[in-house]
Structure formats: structure tokens, C-alpha cells
Copies of this chain bind each other. A is one copy, B any other.
Amino acid sequence: MSNQLVVLDTVSGACCAPLADAALDAGQAETLAPMFKALGDPIRLRLLSMITSAQGGEMCVCDLTPAFDVSGPTISHHLKVLREAGLIEGDRRGTWVWYRPLPEAIRALAAVLK
């Protein structure tokens, strides 16, 4: 049941002390960096903000794609990056795919910064 490599507690969303309190060790940095990296693109940042602020708590790809000047496959790629970073999750419901945020992960990032 226990996981020996828990760095990000998916229940509490906790991971590490705030930056100002203690330096991250290499393992914590390896866990957190890919999450920040996923936010390091303007399209992905807007995608996450649209999904996170959506009323109903989730958003259809069909509503995300037309908000950008890039192709559908490119949006799909960026959503995959956010998904693999553990920041969002999505599921198909019939014709459409809906994405919602994973708030514990986002909270963990916020906690490290402050």
C-alpha cells in the first residue's frame, strides 16, 4: 500500500518546504521541475488556466482548440504534456474529450513558491 518513492503526496498535495525555508534536494527538484516546465509555455499556461477556471470544473477540447492560432494536433500535444506532468487529466465522453485540473499538483507547486 505504501509507496517508497512518494515525493508528492497526492492526498495532501504536499511535497516540499517553501523555497525560502529549505533548499530542495536533487530528488525533489527532479520531481518538481517537469511540472514547472510544463507551465513554461504560453499556450500550455493558457490551456491550464482555461481548464482550471472553467465553470463545471472541466472543459472540452473542442472548446479549447479554437481559442488558439495553432493546429489541433499541436493543442493535443500540449494537453499531453500537461497530462504527463500530472497537472490535468482527461477522459472521452462519447465524441468529445473533457479535461479537468488536478488541484493537488497545482497546490504543491504553489506551496513550494510560497
Contacts and interface: CB of A to CB of B under 8 A. Distances in A.
B23 A46 contact: yes
**For the side of the interface on A, what is the size category?**
35 or more
Contact of A26 (B42, B52, B107): B42
Residue from A19, A37, A43, A50 having most chain B Cβ neighbours under 10 A: A19
Nearest to A16: B49
Contact of A45 (B20, B24, B53): B24
Interface string A70-114: 000000000000000000000000000000010000110110011
A37 B33 contact: no
Interface of A: 19-26, 29-30, 32-34, 36-46, 48-50, 52-53, 101, 106-107, 109-110, 113-114
